[in-house]
């Protein structure tokens, strides 16, 4: 007897059909962002940083993201054709980690100009505070099926998210606990203050450039 195909089977097939395009979108987006931000990279001061990272969402992670959107995290077996990974905006993603904040604003402005047709969907914390700009859209001439996404993130916050994501990945209920929301907000606020502290120290104690007469 043939086992019935589940929505997960259908989504796995879709993922591997899309994978070459996902790869091309990630490569294209990373290359474009590296190219556009080159002038900023070359003008960074010794303490400033700009790191461009791309990643391709893995098959099971993509399916899990879609499953997370279903109540009871269960796909309806009678609704096979109703699910598609093409709705996910982050199959191909680029994260730009920047320090300090003044540079982040510069990078955001520059990229927003280059990707003016992309839709803004900033990362917001549980209390409505905007943490990082984020955009998604199509890379022209590369794919009309796979969306790309990029975000510009304060360096320390981005590094924290990497740790937080791996710790909380399977614990949606923990993440929605009021106490955990407060803990997360405390860490994010502390990291922001830490970055601001460094920036403020540098501004206060660094000799301004000499004026040439």
Partner 1 sequence: MKKDILREAEYWYNFDRDIFYNRKAKKAFSLEFVDDKSEEEIQLRIQENTNGNGWTFYFNSPPSEGVKNILEQVLG
Residues 6+ apart with CB under 8 A from 111: 33, 36, 37, 96, 135, 150, 152
* 178 versus 211: smaller Cβ distance to partner 1: 178
- Cβ distance to partner 1 smaller for residue 35 or 171: 171
| Six token digits for residue 20 | 């070459």
Q: Is 76 in the site for partner 1 (CB under 8 A)?
A: yes
- Among 171, 182, 194, 202, contact with partner 1 (rule: CB under 8 A): 171
As a whole number of angstroms, the distance between CA 189 and CA 103 comes to: 19
Residue number, 17 or 76, with CB nearest to partner 1: 76
Q: How far apart are the first and last CA of the chain?
A: 89
Of 183, 188, 46, 66, which is closest to residue 123 (Cα–Cα)?
188
What tokens appear for 93 in the block?
A: 């993603």
Question: Least distance to partner 1 from the beta carbon of 175, Å?
Answer: 10
CA pair distance 57, 90, nearest whole angstrom:
7
Q: Is position 172 an interface residue for partner 1 (rule: CB under 8 A)?
A: yes
CB of 60 to partner 1, least distance (A): 13
Residue 167 near partner 1 by CB under 8 A: no
* Binder of partner 1 out of 47, 73, 144, 183 (CB under 8 A): 73
Q: Is 68 in the site for partner 1 (CB under 8 A)?
A: yes
Q: Which residues bind partner 1 (CB under 8 A)?
A: 68, 70-79, 170-173, 176-178
């Amino acid at each position: 007897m043939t086992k019935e195909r589940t929505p997960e089977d259908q989504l796995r097939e879709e993922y591997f059909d899309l994978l070459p395009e996902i790869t091309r979108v990630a490569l294209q987006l990373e290359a474009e962002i590296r190219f556009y931000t080159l002038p900023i990279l070359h003008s960074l001061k010794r303490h400033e940083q700009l790191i461009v990272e791309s990643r391709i969402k893995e098959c099971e992670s993509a399916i899990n993201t879609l499953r997370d959107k279903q109540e009871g995290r269960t796909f309806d077996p009678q609704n096979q054709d109703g699910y598609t990974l093409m709705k996910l905006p982050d199959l191909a993603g680029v994260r730009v980690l920047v320090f300090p904040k003044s540079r982040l604003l510069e990078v955001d402005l520059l990229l927003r100009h280059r990707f003016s047709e992309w839709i803004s969907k900033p990362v917001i914390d549980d209390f409505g505070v905007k943490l990082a700009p984020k955009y998604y859209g199509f890379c022209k001439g590369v794919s009309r099926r796979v969306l790309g996404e990029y975000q510009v993130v304060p360096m320390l916050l981005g590094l924290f998210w990497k740790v937080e994501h791996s710790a909380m990945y399977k614990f949606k209920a923990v993440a929605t606990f009021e106490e955990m929301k407060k803990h997360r907000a405390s860490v994010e606020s502390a990291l922001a203050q830490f970055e601001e502290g460094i920036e403020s120290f540098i501004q206060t104690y660094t000799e301004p450039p000499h004026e040439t007469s």
